[in-house]
Structure 1
Amino acid sequence: MKKLVLSAAVLLGSLSTFAAIEPIQNSVEKVITTADEFTEIKIEELPSAVTTALKTAYPEAVINKAYVNENKEYKLDVTMGDKQGSVFADENGKWIQK
């Protein structure tokens, strides 16, 4: 009887460890998928609507790199003073949240 109780405890303990690892693996896969969907392009290839929207919203911003995805959404790596960050816009120059 003691062996049966001990076996059940070990089995339940190993299942809870597996369940705790599973969500971590899924979140890593999502990060990789999101990062891979943008392709780097030349800054000169940006639509004028996107560059105009950036100049209007952030006049001091300097574009370091530009990326595009299948949905014609653009990711801009920008520098403003000593701060760096990324902004996202659609092909019409409307800002989107990512």
Structure 2
Amino acid sequence: MRKLFFATVLSFVGLTAIAQEETAELQADETTVVTATQDFEEISVSDLPEAVTAAVAKDYPTATVNKAYKNASEQYKLELSLEDGTSGTLYADAEGNWIEI
């Protein structure tokens, strides 16, 4: 009876520890900042901060930045196209963090 009780407790503790680790990972990956929509002015792609271009290269290695825009809050709007022909718009701050506007 002791062995059964001990095995049950040990299993419960192990499952609880696994569940906590998965939740922590999901929360660590989320980096969303909501800001008010502001007017963006077009800038040259070469004027993007290195952190922003590094974030694009890391997260979207097949992407090409077609146009770049900047607002007064040092936020960047990027129009990207991928090798497969799809395109989209992403927003980033000056440190290369993805934001949602």
Q: TM-score range by the shorter chain?
A: 0.5 to 0.7
- Give the letter for the 1:58 counterpart: Y
Counterpart in the other structure of 1:53: 55
Superposed counterparts of 1:35-46, under 5 Å: 37-46=39-48
Aligned-residue offset at 1:58: 0.3
- Secondary structure, aligned partner of 1:74: strand
Distance between the aligned counterparts of 2:98 and 2:65, measured in 1?
15
1:84 alignment partner, one of 46, 63, 87: 87
Distance between the aligned counterparts of 1:83 and 1:67, measured in 2?
20
* TM-score normalised per structure 2: 0.61
Aligned residues: 64
Distance between the aligned counterparts of 1:49 and 1:37, measured in 2?
22
Question: Gaps spanning 5+ residues in structure 1: where?
Answer: 1-33
Counterpart in the other structure of 1:94: 97
Distance between the aligned counterparts of 1:84 and 1:58, measured in 2?
11
Q: Whose helix fraction is larger, Structure 1's or Structure 2's?
A: 1
Question: Gaps spanning 5+ residues in structure 2: where?
Answer: 1-36
Aligned-residue offset at 1:74: 0.2
Counterpart check, 1:66 vs 2:68: yes
C-alpha root-mean-square deviation of aligned residues, in Å? 1.0
- Secondary structure, aligned partner of 2:99: coil
* TM-score normalised per structure 1: 0.63
Distance between the aligned counterparts of 2:90 and 2:57, measured in 1?
12
Aligned-residue offset at 1:90: 0.0
